[in-house]
């Protein structure tokens, strides 16, 4: 049986991935130290597969073709060339059987994901792997990518993202083989990279989000996409992907770790590590 062991919400800041890629670490008080505890934690969990909920930043998709939700069903995923060469990280091995089980489960439930048997994954996907696992020769887990459109308006609502997560959680529980699954929601926290509010960071909102996601996700799913853009910035709206992750987990969860750091790049950099508590 598949089991959701853990969930992670984590920013996917390219500059942080680049710094970690060349081995930069740092003492207490730095952004590196903020993320470091998650590595030990995730290693202890000994996961088989990560389902990574991420957004493509017009790398594999373009404004000519933007699926609202998409799922990978490939044997491997290469890092995307985002215009300056692909990141120097290993390809990711796909968990093809779990991909098709998710497809066969969630589409009949009404979540019409586009099926991708070829998919390059950009920093939205690969930077969180670097944050979680550092610089291995091979990634120690297999993966299932699930892409959410947060680029081309209108984007799916926070509630819809959470409901997709619930369907993913049910699908994992009905998988006939044993799998220790982690679900990762990437992106955020608050940031806006464009327009008049470029540079917008809202630390109060980010802290409210970190506090709410474990024990009160309804306080976050009730927000509209306008609320997300107003509070967290146009790219801070990536946070809805953390709600897919939260939806896939048990109703009650334990917060194993949470961290937040400003300033780094243009973004409120955050991470939360959650463990499932099965209903008693
Ligand atoms: C940054 C953050 C993002 O989420 C992204 O996709 C690109 C850049 C940043 O903080 O620089
Ligand atoms: Fe992003």
- CA distance linking residue 74 with residue 115, whole number of Å: 10
CA 235 to ligand 1: nearest atom: 4
For the packed helices 158-173 and 96-106, what is the interaxial angle rounded to 10 degrees?
120
pLDDT score for 185: 98
pLDDT tens string 100-153? 999 999 999 999 999 999 999 999 999 999 999 999 999 999 999 999 999 999
pLDDT at 280 over 60: no
66, pLDDT greater than 60: yes
Average pLDDT for residues 74-88, to the nearest whole number?
96
pLDDT at 25: 84
**Could you tell me if the CB of 12 is within 6 A of ligand 1?**
yes
d(CA 189, CA 54): 13
Across the range 48-74, mean pLDDT stands at: 98
The pair of structure tokens assigned to 51 is 């389902």
Q: What is the pTM of this model?
A: 0.98
Residue 191 falls in the annotated catalytic set: yes
Cα–Cα distances (Å) from 5 to 39, 64, 176, 253, in that order, read 15, 37, 16, 10
Domain residue ranges in the chain: 2-276
What confidence tens digit (pLDDT) does each residue in 153-212 have? 999 999 999 999 999 999 999 999 999 999 999 999 999 999 999 999 999 999 999 999
Q: Would the CB of 235 count as within 6 Å of ligand 1? A: yes
Which of 10, 11, 12, 189 to mutate to test ligand 1, by most ligand atoms within 8 A of the CB atom?
A: 12
Atom of ligand 1 nearest to the CA of 266: 10
Q: Per-residue pLDDT for 279 more than 80?
A: no
Per-residue tokens: 12: 């996917």
Main-chain phi, psi angles of 213, to 5 degrees:
-65, -30
pLDDT above 90 (res 63): yes
pLDDT of residue 175: 98
Fold observed for domain 2-276? Protocatechuate 4,5-dioxygenase; Chain B (3.40.830)
CA–chain centroid gap for 274, Å, is: 13
Question: 192: CA distance to ligand 1 center in Å?
Answer: 9
């Amino acid at each position: 049986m598949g089991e959701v062991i853990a969930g992670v919400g984590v920013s996917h800041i390219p500059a942080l991935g680049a710094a970690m890629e060349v081995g930069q670490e740092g003492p207490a008080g730095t952004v590196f130290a903020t993320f470091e505890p998650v590595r030990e934690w995730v290693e202890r969990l000994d996961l088989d597969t990560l389902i990574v909920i991420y957004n493509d930043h017009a790398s594999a998709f373009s404004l000519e073709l933007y699926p609202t939700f998409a799922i990978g069903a490939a044997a491997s995923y290469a890092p995307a060339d985002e215009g300056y060469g692909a990141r120097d990280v290993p390809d990711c091995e796909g968990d093809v059987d779990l991909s098709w089980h998710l497809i066969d489960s969630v589409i009949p439930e009404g979540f019409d994901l586009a099926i991708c048997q070829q998919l390059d994954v950009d920093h939205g996907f690969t930077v969180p792997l670097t944050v979680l696992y550092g610089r291995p020769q091979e990634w120690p887990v297999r993966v299932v990518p699930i892409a959410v459109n947060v680029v081309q308006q209108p984007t799916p609502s926070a509630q819809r993202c959470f409901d997709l997560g619930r369907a993913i959680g049910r699908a994992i529980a009905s998988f006939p083989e044993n799998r220790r699954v982690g679900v990762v929601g990437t992106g955020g926290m608050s940031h806006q990279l464009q327009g008049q509010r470029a540079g917008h960071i809202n630390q109060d909102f980010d802290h409210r989000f970190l506090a709410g996601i474990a024990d009160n996700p309804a306080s976050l799913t009730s927000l509209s996409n306008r609320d997300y853009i107003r509070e967290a910035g146009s790219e801070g709206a990536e946070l809805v992907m953390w709600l897919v992750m939260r939806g896939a987990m048990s109703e009650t969860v334990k917060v194993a770790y949470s961290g937040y750091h400003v300033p780094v790049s243009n973004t409120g950099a955050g991470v939360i590590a959650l463990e499932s508590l099965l209903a008693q």
